[in-house]
Amino acid sequence: MNKNLQNNNFEELKKIISPAGLEINSNYLKIGNKLARAFFIFSYPRYLTTGWFEPLINLSHLFDISIYINPIDTGIALKNLKKKAAQVEAQISENEEKGMVRDPMLETALNDIESLRDTLQQSQEKLFSVGIYIVIYTDNHEMLEKIESLIESIMESKMVYFKTAIFEQLEGFLSILPLNQDKLNITTPMNSGPISSFFPFISENLTSNHGILYGINIQNNGLIIFDRFSLENANQVVFAKSGSGKSYATKLEIIRSLMLGTDIIIIDPENEYEKLARSFGGSFFNISIASDQNINPFDLPIIPPNEDPEDVLRSHIVNLSGLLKLMLGNLSPEEDALLDRALTETYASKEIVFGKDFTNAQPPLLEDLESVLKSLDGGRAMAEKLYKFTKGSFAGFVNNPTNIELKNRLVVFSIRDLEDELRPIAMYVILNYIWNVIRADFKKRILIIDEAWWMMKYEFSAQFLFGLVKRARKYYLGVSTITQDVEDFMNSPYGRPIITNSAIQLLLKQAPATIDSVGKTFNLTEAEKDFLLNAKVGTGLFFAGRQHVAIQIIASPFEHKIITTNPEELLEESLNL
């Protein structure tokens, strides 16, 4: 295409997009059938707060805004500031010589100038010239005056003042066109701190009329008040390195949820929630080999209303099969089939069979399954593996009748005193017991699984946890999975599905070794990854559905005293007792 043809095409394009006519007046323009008025901001307060621009950009009227930001050479800026500081000092000295009362405005101006000089000298800030121009469009003069009055009241409440571009309406209009031409050239020098508050990229607002206080929005100092049960599901995942405040944040949620009538059940690997349970009159169960508090995994499930007893029993046996595979290790297809048969026969030995009422039947124990396996061809090897759980070193752990009940609004299951290899098994047993109770008694609950990576290490326990998370919504349950070992969690084939089935995510400080994996999973920007790497204790990113904000976890003095795990504070408290 030759140059003449290009020029002709550009001229034709200008004719197409240009208005039919333009009438220029001293304080407005008439563009086609629309009236337009251009303004410029000329004065700002000493401090600009984050979000001051939001009321303006959210006006439900037709308008355009242009922001021109041009860098000022630091060397020139320092020379001008030095000269200005000398002038202000001279004025102060002159006033003192005349015996005049000191002028606070001059002293404040001098302090601001010196502070800006320091930050520019240390390269902590940069200086820019800034111009903001606004053009509003209406159909008549009356509406033009009304919108101008509205903008004036909004901006003056922020101590920001603007003027109409008298006799420069065309220049003002050209300045807001996407031509990057500042025709008005009415600017104010500003450093980078205040300029950051200009941008209309306002942080998400997660303040609602219902729910609990999760923390403070770091971007706009707003309250993050949210009801997790208002989303498509009430599940949550919390990822953070050790010591970053994940348990602290979870305990705060527990306290505040209890106040709103939500029941809480916790699986606690390190006895971190014992003090909380004692403080609020909750139940604390210690599940260990030597404990006198037991759960029988063979307990019969309570039949929920409107559900088929046979289907419930079959589902229970499937879950029990997963537990036994976790205890026995890898099974061949033949052993798997034999285990299924042995489970059915074990229940049948107690007259618990499909198609019959088993409401008042006495459930079997693990040792009953061991006896059945011994009597079956090919089952002796599996029976010998179960021996350590029935009469061996792990006896008493899962081979006693259940003697606990979930009748408290706050229930904590501690597994701290169990050996590492037994923790996934204990978590499975407890979760299965909890699941049977939840299905039978419909109630608003939150189930918290701390250090969930223990279950993610093994396929059958991870599969069970995923099934629980996926079905929780049906039973008015929100499941919180908390972990510091992100790699083990993400390496499981059920790790990502658990995250995608959790509408709320809380990410606190992350380790450099795992930040790439976390960033990929949650589609984080480089700035967000850097924020998580350098986050202070109790700060992070809070995701609720499609919204996410930077959060600061804050507790009241009363809450902090109950939930803190800071060793210094706990030692001081114990010495004061």
> pLDDT value at position 2?
53
Euclidean distance between CA atoms 282 and 292, whole angstroms: 18
| Domain range summary for the chain, segments of one domain joined by + | 3-195, 233-294+405-507+557-577, 296-401
> pLDDT value at position 441?
83
Euclidean distance between CA atoms 302 and 435, whole angstroms: 10
> pLDDT value at position 154?
87
Sheet containing 410-414, strands listed edge to edge, beginning at the edge strand earlier in sequence: 223-226, 212-217, 547-552, 539-544, 504-507, 236-239, 477-483, 445-449, 263-268, 410-414, 283-286
> pLDDT value at position 548?
80
Euclidean distance between CA atoms 43 and 23, whole angstroms: 29
> pLDDT value at position 342?
92
> pLDDT value at position 574?
63
Q: What are the residue ranges in the chain where pLDDT is below 50?
A: 1
Fold match flag (233-294+405-507+557-577 vs 296-401) = no
> pLDDT value at position 8?
63
> pLDDT value at position 568?
74
| CATH number listed for the domain at residues 296-401 | 1.10.8.730
pTM to 2 decimals? 0.65
Amino acid occupying residue 557 = P
Euclidean distance between CA atoms 134 and 490, whole angstroms: 49
> pLDDT value at position 519?
86
CATH superfamily of domain region 233-294+405-507+557-577:
P-loop containing nucleotide triphosphate hydrolases (3.40.50.300)
> pLDDT value at position 185?
92
DSSP 291-344: -S----TTPPPP--TTS-HHHHHHHHHHHHHHHHHHHH----HHHHHHHHHHHH
